Amino acid sequence: MDKIDVSSISQPSDLFGKEILPECTFESEYGKLKFNAVVVPDFSKNKMELELLTKYFDDIKAFMKESDLLKKSEIIEPIFGFVPHVTLGMVTFSLDLTKSSWFINILRTSIRFRLFENGKQLKCNICSYFGYEASPKFHSLMSWNEVPVAQPLACSTGIYIQSLGKALNPNARGRILDPELVNSILKDKRFPSNNYLSWALHGASSDKSLLSFVEKYEIENLLCE
């Protein structure tokens, strides 16, 4: 991944509308997976969000200058979204600033998806982003064979990822929704050796019975740790 020129960025407002994570495409025997670019929103109309962006300004610039995706992840992971806290008496509350929180979450999630695809960070708990309760914004981060990833394909893909995680680690926590899928992965030794997210999308898109099941029951939570 190429470095992004930040020479023209001297203050937080210079980030507005900037492409902080470029578009990326993976083509494999499974199909074509494209990740959309992530752009910094305009936070100028909210003073608190702008102050928080200023707090993380140097981290974001360092993120943009870094070319290694794994190192990018290490820079952005500690930032838990632009969500400040206020204390009233002895109780601390989290202020939900949706726009800024979503920006960091979308950025972090897109990196996790890319790292999972290229095998540099095989954390199968990313399946939790694919359930029906997950915002469509997560699914809109990518397209599969030129078609945006939407439900029920997204949830079916999450079940494939969850099953892969359980097959790789039988002690993984989480209720497995399709034990037969886990068994078939183990029996047929269908472990992918590359393009792991593409593998899951390919399997899910051709699994008509699973797609029908997911569409009928709208599985909300997918967990695998």
Tell me the pLDDT tens digit for each residue of 49-70. Answer: 888 888 888 999 999 999 999 9
| Res 95 pLDDT > 50 | no
Residues 75 and 158 in one domain: no
Q: Based on the domain organization, do 44 and 63 belong to the same domain?
A: yes
Q: What's the pTM value of the predicted model, to 2 decimals?
A: 0.84
What is the β-pairing status of strands 32-35 and 24-27? antiparallel
Whose tokens are 């100028």? That residue is 44
Q: Are residues 2 and 102 in the same domain?
A: yes
Give me the half-sphere count of Cα atoms (radius 13 Å) on the Cβ side of residue 114.
24
Between CA 30 and CA 186 the distance in angstroms is 19
Co-location of 88 and 152 in the same domain:
no
Number of domains in the chain: 2
Mean per-residue pLDDT over the chain, rounded: 82
Indicate whether 80 and 128 sit together in one domain.
no
Report pLDDT for 223.
Answer: 64
Q: Do 34 and 107 fall into the same domain?
A: yes
Residues 91, 135, single domain; the answer is: no
* Alpha carbon distances (Å) from 5 to 23, 57, 63, 67, 77: 16, 15, 11, 11, 22
40 and 147 share one domain: no
**In this structure, are 102 and 33 located in the same domain?**
yes
Last residue of a domain, one of 90, 121, 152: 121
Please give the residue range of the domain that contains residue 177.
124-225
The per-residue pLDDT for range 161-187, each reduced to its tens digit, is 988 887 777 776 666 666 777 677 667
- Considering the domain architecture, whether residues 4 and 91 belong to the same structural domain is answered as yes
Residue 149 burial (CB count, 10 A): 23
- pLDDT tier at 189, thresholds 50, 70, 90: low
